[in-house]
């Protein structure tokens, strides 16, 4: 009896469950079918974008009709993505004096209410995925990864911006002035004209530098190395003199430090091994991986790293710590690291918590990193492959965005030179001082005025790098832009970062289908190739490199190169260089 | 909702059932909560299994997504053609088997040893200390392991070097990594796992031991002929549950422990799914992988259960 009852009960539960399951499916289908259907305006706008200019004309009239003096009659509400960097002692990225400035300005100028949505900086792609899948992504999204946007776009998850940027042009003077055709249309598909993202502008395209401890060079009576051989000799000198340089901590000495991301953290070395006369075609075909894994000199560059690793000139454990881990930075701050390669201004970032400021506190006034330019290529120059004005952050609107005009106005507002300047330097006496020369000097702020990202780049999404109201002022202030850091050291790093710099060119031959859905897999594999090759024994280096590389290529790397070559030939014919 | 439906067929039943239900309705009411939990968090999400057979789109409802190629099996075919998946499958099986072979007997042996201790207070202290690691998250355990085993800077390796040996690559060489991974797994779990066995041992009739002593059995004889047979049903049930998990893998442990140097042996299905599916946006592919994993898990469970009943044990149902 009892058993029977339980059976009935369970069966009943099963029925209820199926009903519920079905019910749930129905109910969940309602809002989703709703979204495209119910806001028919949004769909219409969407279609207008897709269909191109024909429908665009009608749309334009409607758009300008909505605005009186650049303002909406009724208050609109938009959401904007902002990175949460989780800084120690930082301010709330969605609510601080800078967000207030933006919110107030947008409400006054355009009658648009702005709400910020924070997304963790180091897991942004995953987080935005989840938000998009849930239909709750911010109206304005920012990411560094174009393949990610392309993947969403192919699923129909991204608005085509080509219609909006054209139709609303008259309402977007600042945006067009600042980004120009280059950045606005950088990602425009040459075949069907779709535009899934707008490229934010790099105001400073310095990319990467190698740094060395100035006081160690002085202590050993060495000059800054200018060739790869001299650099190697310097590393060996650091290792041999570790007792002098570090005393009791001698066995913590790390002459040259990289992280698991070898392709980035030894980029100046790797780039120096690329043939300086490389053709545009070859560079593009091998250009999918931004860590230059398949470029023509990379293997030999890594062979050199492998030699250094086996000589004990590098950090044993670099591969064991993942993205965002601070162990390596802490070792730099504690003074155990002799040289490293990183973002051109890395040791200057974060004011009082910068690597240089920490070193000076922990080790002594003379202890700090300076930029050097040690890696010569086969022609004896120091070629560095830097970005163009584009190729940095990309802005896109998810399909759930039903306020495209308000969002475009936001981008315009945030590109206004005065607004950029205020967000970058804040209030006088609080976040900056004006020097006698007129230069703006950044000072360490506290409380609500703390900028979570240097120069508030997380808010100035169309602008990365210092850009003040006039060019002279920007130039003058660049070196004073790092609180607690000697301006001369910054200027010198700036000069080196621009020495023999080759800006990226835009090769737009249409969508490379092999690149969809594969970015993360390949970049993980890329890191594995680099890491395993660096730590292999010198005898095994070739076999490790070749077998790992084969895995990379067979997992999609080769397919991308083949398709890139094919599409290049289709567009540029036999020419190996861009027109 | 569940309650309304469940009570419905009962209405037409005989009086005894009704009075039975009337008498015990509180108990069934209580039961409905866990049932509701299962329904909401385990069964309703199963609607989305169909993603494995469909071309996923973030903007479409799951019912509207178009069927994938090859009658919906496109992604299964793709998965089995994928080197990374096959590698993850191999690693999952190998690591889980090693876990089973080494990790499964450990709590049994520990329980047997504890049971032989006569100094009660010492036993309690040992037991508590052995439970502790179970409450640490894998992220913390990995940080500990890193501090201890990292080459060059790890305490253990520093000690080895001081004693004149050469540093052991516990975490960055494939074979050593497997050893570390399994070893740390055993360390984390053996104390906690022994609780069930200790409870089973406590349930064994003490007269059996007395009788065996009278017959002249020593400690090992008693252990072999009384304690082990006494806890055999428990062992079998836990073994079945472990076998059902042979393709399953928890996520935190391999994810925390893996690094670029050992991915070849450390990438398991759960981390593969995370990397390719969540980070790489290939939801259909990884749902297919997850479904495959679950189906194999169920098969293993059924087979193990069938086997144990064949062997005269009770099985789990």
**Residue A160 sits in a domain of what CATH number?**
3.40.190.10
What residue numbers bound the domain in which B208 lies? 74-310
- Residues A379 and A404 grouped into a single domain: no
| pLDDT score recorded for residue A304 | 97
Q: Is the dihedral of CA B58, B59, B65, B69 positive or negative?
A: negative
Instruction: Please tell me which of the candidates A148, A155, A316 has its beta carbon nearest to residue B152.
Output: A316
Spatial distance between the Cα atoms of A483 and A443, rounded to a whole number of angstroms: 5
Identify whether the C-beta of residue A497 lies closer than 8 Å to the C-beta of residue A381: no
Residues of B whose CB is below 8 A from A524: 260, 263, 275
Total of domains in chain B: 2
Query: Stretch B129-136: mean pLDDT, rounded?
Result: 92
Structure tokens at A245: 């340089």
| pLDDT score recorded for residue A194 | 93
Interhelix angle A298-310/A541-552, rounded to 10 degrees, is 130
| pLDDT score recorded for residue A65 | 63
Q: Which of A401, A418, A435 represents a domain boundary (last residue)?
A: A418
Does some domain include residue A6?
Answer: no
Backbone phi, psi, residue A398, to 5°? -70, 165
- Residues B141 and B290 grouped into a single domain: yes
Q: What is the ipTM of this complex?
A: 0.79
From the number of C-beta atoms within 10 Å of its C-beta (0-12, 13-18, 19+), residue B164 rates as: exposed
Percent of chain B at pLDDT above 70?
Answer: 94
Query: Stretch B274-289: mean pLDDT, rounded?
Result: 84
Residue A408, C-beta contacts closer than 8 angstroms, at least 6 positions apart: A164, A165, A168, A171, A172, A175
- Residues A198 and A215 grouped into a single domain: no
pLDDT, one tens digit per residue, over A147-203 is 888 888 888 889 999 999 999 999 999 999 999 999 999 999 888 899 999 999 998
Structure tokens at B56: 């996923």
Chain B segment 129-188 residues within 8 A of A by beta carbon are 146, 150-153, 171-172
- Looking at chain A, the number of H-run helices and the number of E-run strands are 24, 17
Does some domain include residue A20?
Answer: no
Does some domain include residue B61?
Answer: no
Identify whether the C-beta of residue A378 lies closer than 8 Å to the C-beta of residue A13: no
Structure tokens at A135: 């239909």
- Residues B22 and B159 grouped into a single domain: no
Spatial distance between the Cα atoms of B172 and B260, rounded to a whole number of angstroms: 9
Does some domain include residue B53?
Answer: no
- Residues B40 and B151 grouped into a single domain: no
Spatial distance between the Cα atoms of A64 and A91, rounded to a whole number of angstroms: 38
Does some domain include residue A4?
Answer: no
For chain A, the residue count is: 579
Spatial distance between the Cα atoms of A330 and A313, rounded to a whole number of angstroms: 18
- Residues B192 and B236 grouped into a single domain: yes
Q: Is the dihedral of CA B251, B254, B259, B263 positive or negative?
A: negative
Residues of B whose CB is below 8 A from A158: none
Distance from CA of A518 to the nearest CA of B (A): 6
* Residue among A415, A508, A424 nearest A175 (CA): A415
Which position has the higher pLDDT, A62 or B58?
A: B58
Chain B segment 231-290 residues within 8 A of A by beta carbon are 259-261, 263, 275-276, 278-282
| pLDDT score recorded for residue A28 | 36
Structure tokens at A258: 């990289």
Query: Stretch B32-37: mean pLDDT, rounded?
Result: 94
| pLDDT score recorded for residue B15 | 72
- Residues A86 and A133 grouped into a single domain: yes
- Residues B240 and B137 grouped into a single domain: yes
What residue numbers bound the domain in which A563 lies? 208-386+504-572
- Residues B135 and B190 grouped into a single domain: yes
Instruction: Please tell me which of the candidates B6, B58, B146 has its beta carbon nearest to residue A9.
Output: B6
| pLDDT score recorded for residue B14 | 62
- Residues B164 and B276 grouped into a single domain: yes
Spatial distance between the Cα atoms of A253 and A335, rounded to a whole number of angstroms: 9
Spatial distance between the Cα atoms of B112 and B37, rounded to a whole number of angstroms: 37
Does some domain include residue B68?
Answer: no
Does some domain include residue B59?
Answer: no
Residue B200, C-beta contacts closer than 8 angstroms, at least 6 positions apart: B230, B231, B233, B234
| pLDDT score recorded for residue A24 | 38
Helix segments in A111-196, DSSP class H? 124-134, 146-154, 162-167, 173-184
- Residues B20 and B83 grouped into a single domain: no
Spatial distance between the Cα atoms of A338 and A217, rounded to a whole number of angstroms: 9
Residue B43: band (very low, low, confident or very high) from pLDDT cuts 50, 70, 90: very high
Task: With CB atoms and an 8 Å threshold, state whether A21 touches B47.
Answer: yes
Least confident of B41-55, B206-220, B267-281: B267-281
Low-confidence ranges of chain A (pLDDT < 50): 1, 12-62
Residue A67: strand pairing partners: A72
Does some domain include residue A153?
Answer: yes
Percent of chain B at pLDDT above 90?
Answer: 49
Does some domain include residue B298?
Answer: yes
- Residues A57 and A149 grouped into a single domain: yes
| pLDDT score recorded for residue A6 | 52
Residue B220, C-beta contacts closer than 8 angstroms, at least 6 positions apart: none
- Residues B172 and B229 grouped into a single domain: yes
Task: With CB atoms and an 8 Å threshold, state whether A555 touches B280.
Answer: no
- Residues A50 and A179 grouped into a single domain: yes
Does some domain include residue A455?
Answer: no
Distance from CA of B120 to the nearest CA of A (A): 43
| pLDDT score recorded for residue B239 | 87
Spatial distance between the Cα atoms of A485 and A479, rounded to a whole number of angstroms: 9
| pLDDT score recorded for residue B244 | 78
- Residues A199 and A98 grouped into a single domain: yes
- Residues A85 and A106 grouped into a single domain: yes
Does some domain include residue A278?
Answer: yes
| pLDDT score recorded for residue A35 | 35
Structure tokens at A43: 């769909």
Does some domain include residue B280?
Answer: yes
Does some domain include residue B66?
Answer: no
- Residues A354 and A367 grouped into a single domain: yes
- Residues A227 and A190 grouped into a single domain: no
* Residue among B282, B285, B287, B59 nearest A137 (CA): B59
| pLDDT score recorded for residue A130 | 83
Of the residues A19, A147, A149, A155, the best mutation for testing chain B's interface (the one with the most B CB atoms within 10 Å of its CB) is A155
Does some domain include residue A84?
Answer: yes
pLDDT, one tens digit per residue, over B62-116 is 888 888 888 889 999 988 988 889 999 999 999 999 999 999 999 999 999 998 8
Residues of A whose CB is below 8 A from B254: none
Q: Would the pLDDT of B59 be above 80?
A: no
| pLDDT score recorded for residue A61 | 43
Identify whether the C-beta of residue A80 lies closer than 8 Å to the C-beta of residue A410: yes
A279-298 b/e (C-beta count within 10 Å ≥ 16 → b)? ebbbbbbbbbbbbbbbbebb
- Residues A198 and A242 grouped into a single domain: no
Spatial distance between the Cα atoms of A350 and A279, rounded to a whole number of angstroms: 39
Give me the total of CB pairs closer than 8 Å, taking one residue from chain A and one from chain B.
144
- Residues B165 and B244 grouped into a single domain: yes
Does some domain include residue B163?
Answer: yes
Structure tokens at A497: 């970062």
Total of domains in chain A: 2
For position B101, which CATH number holds? 1.10.3720.10
Spatial distance between the Cα atoms of A36 and A148, rounded to a whole number of angstroms: 22
């Amino acid at each position: 009896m009892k058993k029977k009852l339980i059976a009935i009960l369970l069966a009943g539960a099963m029925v209820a469950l199926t009903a519920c399951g079905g019910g749930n499916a129905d109910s969940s289908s309602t809002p989703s079918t709703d979204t495209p259907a119910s806001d028919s305006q949004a769909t219409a706008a969407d279609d207008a974008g897709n269909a191109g200019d024909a429908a665009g004309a009608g749309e334009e009239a409607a758009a300008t009709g909505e605005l009186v003096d650049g303002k909406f009659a009724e208050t609109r509400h938009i959401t904007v993505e902002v990175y949460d960097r989780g800084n120690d002692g930082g301010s709330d990225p969605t609510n601080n004096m800078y967000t207030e400035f933006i919110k107030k300005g947008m409400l006054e100028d355009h009658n648009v209410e702005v709400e910020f949505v924070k997304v963790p900086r180091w897991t942004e792609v995953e987080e935005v995925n989840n938000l998009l899948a849930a239909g709750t992504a911010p109206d304005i999204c920012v990411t560094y990864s174009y393949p990610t946007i392309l993947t969403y776009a192919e699923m129909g998850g991204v608005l085509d911006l080509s219609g909006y940027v054209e139709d609303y042009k008259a309402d977007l003077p600042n945006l067009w002035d600042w980004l120009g055709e280059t950045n606005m249309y950088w990602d425009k598909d040459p075949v069907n004209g779709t535009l899934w993202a707008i490229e934010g502008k790099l105001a400073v395209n310095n990319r990467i530098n190698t740094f060395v401890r100035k006081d160690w060079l002085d202590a050993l009576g060495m000059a800054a190395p200018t060739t790869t051989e001299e650099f190697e000799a310097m590393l060996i000198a650091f290792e041999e003199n570790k007792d002098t340089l570090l005393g009791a901590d001698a066995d913590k000495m790390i002459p040259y430090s990289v992280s698991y991301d070898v392709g980035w953290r030894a980029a100046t070395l790797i780039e120096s091994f690329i043939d300086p006369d490389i053709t545009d075609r070859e560079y593009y075909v091998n250009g999918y991986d931004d860590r230059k894994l398949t470029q023509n000199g990379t293997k030999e560059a890594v062979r050199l790293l492998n030699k250094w690793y086996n000589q004990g000139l590098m950090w044993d454990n670099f591969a064991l710590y993942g993205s965002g881990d601070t162990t390596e930075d802490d070792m730099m701050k504690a003074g155990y690291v002799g040289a490293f390669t990183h973002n051109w201004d890395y040791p200057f970032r974060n004011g009082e918590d910068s690597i240089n400021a920490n070193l000076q506190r922990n080790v002594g006034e003379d202890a700090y990193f300076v930029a050097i330019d040690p890696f010569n290529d086969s022609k004896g120059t120091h070629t560095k492959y830097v970005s163009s004005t584009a190729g940095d952050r990309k802005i896109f609107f998810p399909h759930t965005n039903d306020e495209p005009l308000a969002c475009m106005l936001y981008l315009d507002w945030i590109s206004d030179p005065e607004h950029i300047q205020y967000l970058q330097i804040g209030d006088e006496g609080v976040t900056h001082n004006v020097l006698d020369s007129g230069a703006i000097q950044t000072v360490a702020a506290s409380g609500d005025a703390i900028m979570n990202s240097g120069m508030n780049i997380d808010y100035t999404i169309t602008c990365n790098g210092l850009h003040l109201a006039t060019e002279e002022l920007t130039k003058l202030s660049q070196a004073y832009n790092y609180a607690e850091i000697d301006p001369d050291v910054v200027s010198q790093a700036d000069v080196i970062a621009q020495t023999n710099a080759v800006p990226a060119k835009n090769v737009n031959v249409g969508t490379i289908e092999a690149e969809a859905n594969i970015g993360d897999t390949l970049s993980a594999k890329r890191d594995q190739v680099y890491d395993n090759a660096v730590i292999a024994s010198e005898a095994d280096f070739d076999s490790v490199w070749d077998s790992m590389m084969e895995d990379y290529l067979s997992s999609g790397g080769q397919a991308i190169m083949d398709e890139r070559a094919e599409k290049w030939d289709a567009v540029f014919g036999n020419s190996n260089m861009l027109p | 909702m569940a309650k309304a439906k469940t009570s419905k067929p009962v209405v037409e039943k005989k009086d005894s059932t009704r009075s039975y239900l009337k008498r015990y309705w509180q108990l069934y009411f209580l039961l409905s909560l866990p049932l509701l939990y299962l329904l909401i968090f385990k069964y309703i999400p199963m609607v989305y299994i169909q993603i494995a057979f469909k071309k996923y789109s973030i903007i479409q409802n799951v019912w509207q997504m178009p069927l994938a190629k090859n009658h919906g099996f496109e992604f299964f075919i793709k998965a089995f053609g994928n080197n990374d998946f096959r590698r993850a499958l191999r690693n999952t099986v190998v690591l889980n088997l090693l876990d089973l072979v080494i990790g499964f007997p450990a709590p049994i042996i520990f329980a047997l040893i504890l049971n032989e201790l006569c100094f009660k207070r010492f036993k309690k202290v040992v037991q508590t200390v052995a439970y502790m690691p179970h409450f640490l998250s894998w992220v913390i355990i990995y940080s500990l392991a890193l501090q201890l085993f990292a080459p060059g800077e790890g305490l253990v390796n520093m000690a080895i070097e001081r004693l004149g040996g050469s540093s052991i690559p516990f975490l960055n060489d494939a074979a050593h990594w497997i050893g570390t991974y399994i070893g740390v797994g055993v360390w984390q779990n053996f104390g906690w796992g022994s609780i069930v066995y200790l409870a089973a041992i406590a349930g064994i009739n003490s007269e059996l031991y007395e009788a065996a002593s009278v017959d002249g059995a020593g400690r090992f004889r008693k252990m072999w002929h009384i304690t082990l047979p006494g806890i055999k049903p428990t062992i079998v049930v836990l073994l079945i549950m472990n076998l059902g998990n042979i393709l399953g893998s928890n996520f935190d442990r391999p994810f925390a422990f893996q690094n670029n140097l050992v991915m070849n042996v450390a990438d398991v299905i759960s981390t593969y799914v995370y990397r390719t599916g969540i980070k790489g946006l290939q939801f259909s592919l990884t749902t297919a992988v997850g479904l495959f994993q679950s189906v194999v898990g169920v098969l293993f469970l059924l087979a193990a259960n069938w086997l144990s009943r064949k062997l005269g044990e009770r099985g789990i149902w």
